Amino acid sequence: MTETRDLIAARVRADPGVHFNELVRALDLAPGQVQYHLRRLEWVVAADLYGQTHYYPPGYDADERRALALLRRETAADVVAVLLEAGALPATDVAERVGIARSTLSWHLDRLTEAELVRDDRDARNRVVLSLVDPEGTARLLRRAEPSTPGRLVDRFTRLVDSLLAE
Amino acid sequence: MANEWVLAVVLALGGVGSAGIVGLALVALVQRRSVPYLLVTLALVTLGARAVVGAFSLLGMLSIPTHHTAEHLLDVLMAGLVIAAVYTARSARRSAAAADRGYGGGEDD
């Protein structure tokens, strides 16, 4: 009983931003069980982001919660990793380094710029140049973000479709 | 008939596989909400439909000629949907490039 609750608590602490289905699948529990214990765990913060309910341990503010939900997407994490390494980089170079179609990059960028993780500026030649708004803070969150297997599959599927349709 | 067993197993595998990939496509479609993704999803649905048609004819609910016609019709449909997906993706990209010159507009030396 409390053992199950401890398992759920440990998972939320280890994987901030974990979503409901993932808890059910990873811990091999009934959805009702997970729901019951989550309600009993008063320190767990729930947030509806991008069509899923994510669960967080305390200590993350609303911006950080949203950033974690985004960085759990493999491709978004790849984009951020390239920018951490390169600093500021033209968008076309970012797409090339990550190995994704421009349409894939632009879809992820919409969310990353909206969440104010990534800034897009124009250089003298009117190219879009990307950089991180807060490299240190984002790097810290990136280390905590762990994509789920279904999330990874969907991400790779969209990468494949975009690149097939692009050329 | 050993042959029928092999066919049943192949059909089951094809059905499960295409159901999985249609599931993936649907999640991607919900994320993207674009015409090309809708067409790609429908193209993958035709793959699943082939397994269904195969199962019907295995159960003797479809004659062999009908079965062949249905399968080839699904081929035509799939090819058409993929071509349409590529076509709409190109025109969507062109209008996006026009709206946002300098990013993805292909103007890089």
Give the pLDDT score at A51: 85
> Please, which pLDDT band fits residue B61 given cuts at 50, 70 and 90?
confident
Strand, coil or helix: A55: strand
pTM of the predicted model as reported, rounded to 2 decimal places: 0.82
Best to test chain A binding among B29, B40, B83, B103 (most A CBs inside 10 Å):
B103
| Helix or strand run (H / E) with residue A146 | none
**pLDDT recorded at residue A148:** 86
The pLDDT value recorded for residue B102 is 47
Instruction: Verify whether the Cβ–Cβ distance A154 to B85 is below 8 Å.
Output: no
Checking if the pLDDT of B67 tops 80, the result is yes
- Interface contact flag, B28 A157, Cβ < 8 Å: yes
8 Å CB contact of B108 and A157: no
Neighbours of A161 (CB within 10 A): 24
Average pLDDT for chain A: 92
Cα Rg of chain A (Å, integer): 18
Give how far Cα A111 sits from Cα of A17, A56, A117, B31, Å.
16, 20, 9, 12
**Separation CA A28–CA A8 (nearest Å):** 11
Q: Which residues of A touch B (CB under 8 A)?
A: 51, 91-92, 102-103, 106-107, 120, 122, 126-128, 150, 153-154, 157-158, 161, 164-166
Most confident of A21-25, A26-30, B29-33, B39-43: B39-43
> Which pLDDT does position A2 carry in this prediction?
75
In B68-83, which positions are buried (b, 16+ CB within 10 angstroms) versus exposed (e)?
eebeeebeeebeebbe
User: What is the distance in angstroms between the Cα of B83 and the nearest Cα belonging to chain A?
Assistant: 9
DSSP symbol at A19: E
The predicted pLDDT at position B99 comes to 56
Question: Cβ of B85 and A165 within 8 Å?
Answer: yes
| Shortest CA gap A6–chain B (Å) | 31
Please tell me the predicted confidence (pLDDT) of residue B97. Answer: 62
